[in-house]
């Protein structure tokens, strides 16, 4: 746009040749044709959208009024240590309420520990310890990750290692690990 203004200023002052004027006219004609083409495309799109809106309005009007119904979706039962305990106690023949409470507490602790151990085992890294220097009690730990595929248990060696200095007081028993 500013190029057009600059051209007009040059044209008025008389510093423009006929060739420059012809070139500018050709450029403006091409720009005008491009704008006409875009305008035509936008009009086509607008017509399509208006027709589509009219069709949708017609569908809404002709559609029978829907009766609202509510449906309930059963969520899968979440299995927690408490639900396991309650389920087990429901299956047990009748016992006194006091005994039931005692059993419930012990089963709840047992189920909680069992689930916790399962989760810890799934995420566990096992390590192999190698004693490096007997004087300073420096140990290097190589970490393994347990992977269970169906019936097979595999250990994957991770690149991570750790070095620890262990005081003599903390060492209870020294054992030799085999590969």
pTM (predicted TM-score): 0.31
Beta strands 152-165 and 138-149 are antiparallel
d(CA 87, CA 80): 11
- Name the β-bridge partners of 141: 129, 162
Domain definitions of the chain by residue range: 2-61, 70-123, 124-179
Give the mean pLDDT of 8-21.
72
Contact 141, 128 (CB under 8 A): yes
Which tens digit of pLDDT belongs to each residue from 78-133? 788 888 888 888 887 778 888 888 888 888 888 888 888 777 766 665 555 555 44
């Amino acid at each position: 746009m500013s190029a057009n203004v600059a051209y007009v200023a040059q044209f008025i002052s008389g510093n423009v040749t006929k060739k420059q004027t012809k070139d500018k006219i050709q450029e403006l004609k091409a720009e005008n044709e491009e704008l006409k083409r875009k305008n035509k495309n936008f009009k086509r799109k607008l017509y399509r959208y208006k027709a589509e809106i009219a069709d949708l309005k017609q569908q809404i009007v002709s559609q029978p009024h829907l009766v609202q119904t509510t449906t309930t979706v059963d969520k899968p039962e979440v299995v927690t240590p408490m639900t396991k305990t309650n389920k087990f106690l429901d299956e047990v023949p009748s016992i006194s309420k006091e005994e039931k409470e005692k059993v419930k507490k012990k089963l709840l602790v047992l189920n909680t520990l069992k689930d916790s151990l399962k989760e810890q085992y799934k995420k566990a890294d096992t390590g192999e310890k190698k004693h490096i220097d007997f004087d300073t009690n420096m140990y290097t730990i190589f970490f393994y990750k347990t992977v269970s595929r169906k019936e097979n248990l595999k250990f994957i060696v991770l690149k991570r290692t750790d070095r620890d200095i262990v005081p003599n007081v903390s060492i209870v028993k020294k054992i030799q690990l085999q590969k």
